[in-house]
Amino acid sequence: MSERIFISPAKYVQGKNVIQNIGGYIKDLGEQTVVIADETVWEIAGNDVVKQVKQENIKAEEVVFNGEASKQEIDRITEIANKANATIVIGVGGGKTLDTAKAVSDELNGYAVIVPTTASTDAPTSALSVVYSDDGVFEGYRFYNKNPNLVVIDTKIVAGAPPRFLASGIADALATWVEARSVIQAGGDTMAGGSTTIAGQAIAEKCEETLFKYAHLAYESVQAKSVTPALESVVEANTLLSGLGFESGGLGAAHAIHNGFTALHGDIHNMTHGEKVAFGTLVQLALEQHDEKEIERYIALYTSLGLPVTLEDIKLKDASRDDIMKVAEAATTEGETIHQAFNITADDVADAIYAADRYAKAYKEKNK
């Protein structure tokens, strides 16, 4: 019997305008920071972060993120941070920026401060980064011996982001309980390195419960660019509950299938992480024994939020059987998370991809 392990960030802060207090949260961590954000995010939040940090007499080296969480980008920014003698790395923006910030912090053996500007993935709280090639092809996970020291998510900024990002985060988070449940049933290990704790299971379940209750209201709140209790609940589910739930609850097929999609070229790379995970979740449900009502519960929520549910929706309408087998083979390579939940072949996964596509088409036809 493997040991039970639960991991989490040292501190999580969420709320309207909390970015204005970030200097106070990090003032005891050091005197030199490197702040990483892409060109767009500098205008949205990066400049505010630097301003607040400097008000606490902390120096800030500003770095523009090039867009890919690759080894080359991690090495480039690490060199800049070393030259600045930085001990604090602040990542501001989306999942790839944040994953890069965590990697740079690890290289420096420093403090990681994570400032998401959307609630589009569950990456912020985790002790890992997803690493890609410079061309966006999934290469693997990079694990750390600790989670971020601080996660700060300003819901006013989240409310101002395009609704597609929140919907993507909901899709990513809806995979949390589906995957954790499968790992628990199979007796597999979690990303934290042990078996699922009662806490990890409870958090993953609460994540799904929260999303089915409040996802629509939160989505409408972002349409109105308004911070509401429903939005606060969904932001917490997307970010904290899903982050803790996937890491200490377990990852199964949905994310492995997402990773498999990176083996293909073309328009699928214009889909967000969460959008690909949405379809991956339907594939996992197709691999398991669920009744029609249960599967349609997910399809209904996805479609109401504009999320993809068919191969056509994820830009694979013309994909050949060979293309789908490439995805399935990549999803079942040695070390992929699918093996924590299933004893399965690539052919099984390919069949489930076609089945999930058919289920969603039938649902759409029935609900025209």
Contact at 8 Å (CB) between 64 and 42? yes
Is 150 annotated as ligand-binding? Answer: no
| Residue 254 labeled ligand binder | no
Whether residue 242 is annotated as binding a ligand: the answer is: no
Q: Which two tokens stand for residue 353?
A: 């991809």
Q: Which residues contact 11 (CB under 8 A, 6 or more apart)?
A: 25, 149, 150, 151
> Is position 313 annotated in a ligand binding site?
no
172 catalytic? Reply is: yes
Closest CA to 32 of 89, 73, 106, 76: 89
**Residue keyed to tokens 């290469």:** 139
Nearest to 207 by CA among 234, 167, 183: 234
* Long-range contact pairs involving 216-222 (C-beta distance under 8 Å, separation at least 24): 216/304, 216/305, 218/166, 218/170, 219/163, 219/166, 219/167, 219/170, 219/305, 221/159, 222/158, 222/159, 222/161, 222/163, 222/166
Q: Annotated binding residue at 182?
A: no
99 is in an annotated binding site: yes
Was 192 annotated as part of a binding site?
no
Give which of 307, 297, 249 is closest to 277, Cα–Cα.
307
Residue 359 labelled as part of a binding site: no
> 107 φ, ψ to 5°?
-60, -35
97 marked as binding residue: yes
Q: What is the Cα–Cα distance from 212 to 218, expressed in whole angstroms?
A: 11
**Choice among 48, 106, 189, 273 that is catalytic:** 273
Is 98 annotated in a binding site? The answer is yes
Q: Exposure of 245 by Cβ count < 10 A (0-12 exposed, 13-18 middle, 19+ buried)? A: buried
Answer yes or no: is 315 a known binding residue: no
The span from the CA of 220 to the CA of 159, in Å, is 10
269 is catalytic: no
DSSP-assigned letters across all residues of 41-81: HIIIIIHHHHHHHHTTT-EEEEEE--S---HHHHHHHHHHH
The verdict on whether residue 335 carries a ligand-binding annotation is no
Q: How far apart are CA 245 and CA 132, in angstroms?
A: 23
Active site residue 273: yes
Cβ-based neighbours of 6, under 8 Å, separated by 6 or more: 192, 197, 199, 200, 244, 248
Is 95 annotated in some ligand binding site? yes
Q: Pick the catalytic residue: 255, 313, 339, 357?
A: 255
Active-site residue, selected from the candidate residues 172, 189, 313, 357: 172
Sign for the CA dihedral angle at 235, 238, 239, 241 comes to positive
Residues 88, 94 contacting (CB under 8 angstroms): no
From the list 48, 258, 313, 339, the catalytic residue is 258
Known binding residues for glycerol: 122, 172, 255, 273
Known binding residues for NAD(+): 38, 95-99, 117-120, 126, 128, 132
Which positions are annotated as active-site residues?
172, 255, 258, 273
Known binding residues: 38, 95-99, 117-120, 122, 126, 128, 132, 172, 255, 273
